[in-house]
Chain A
């Protein structure tokens, strides 16, 4: 399937439970702070194992998953019809879209049975702070 159009996304996206995060504050001293595309989105411990949190980074909705002691960041917008992936059930390193059950690998973003892929984002954890490169 072709990528979902932005108008369609806007129309179909569920905007519940989104945490809005400011861009990475200027002038921080750790190494990640000097990388302008990294954004602090959560602290370790804030997201339970097997759960997700949805963050808004400069208008992009990102689902941050905590799976097997690691963090994975995917677009929160399902490529099928825009369902909220961050509200989906996580099982065996996959998330099931809560709308129609499409199954995506949280690491690669790939649909397990089909051809579609959800955009993924690099996650950097430093000093118990979780950052996403956007």
Chain B
């Protein structure tokens, strides 16, 4: 039997099924919590940390990721406090400085309010969000790709670098990769990396009314769970 719980997200009392994550529930109710590594129906591994929220327990607040936080009765969650906005802006700034050559990442930067990038740009082609890995492992049970290496050396690869037979080249990994979506003005050559920010107008709506998702264009870019479902 599905058990219902009632929790509070940004002051609104919402009902949800036990076992779902705060992120899924919030998105379903039109409360926008930016996210990247989360794909509905796949497991969450809490890698990008963009979906952080404040969980209020005994009048103390704890920062945690909403994709890995399961709803509970009487839970109190805040998704849009001053503190959260600053934290996710800083994470998005790290991401866009690392991999600016993607509309998805640029969209996330805009959505999270990044208006300047204080680090030298790099031009990496993977943000290690693990969407491809989990898709391949969990949806197709193929395990054709996985993470290899630790820390700075971590990357996605075939086992021992060779494409195994279980990989049917279905391209699902590519379709769900945020790095395969080119920036609106086309790819950025090395040395041209920048913060795009052209969609900033979209931000006004998302930031001022975060609890009333308007199916903004930014969500299309980064594969927001609301557009996906």
A binds B: no
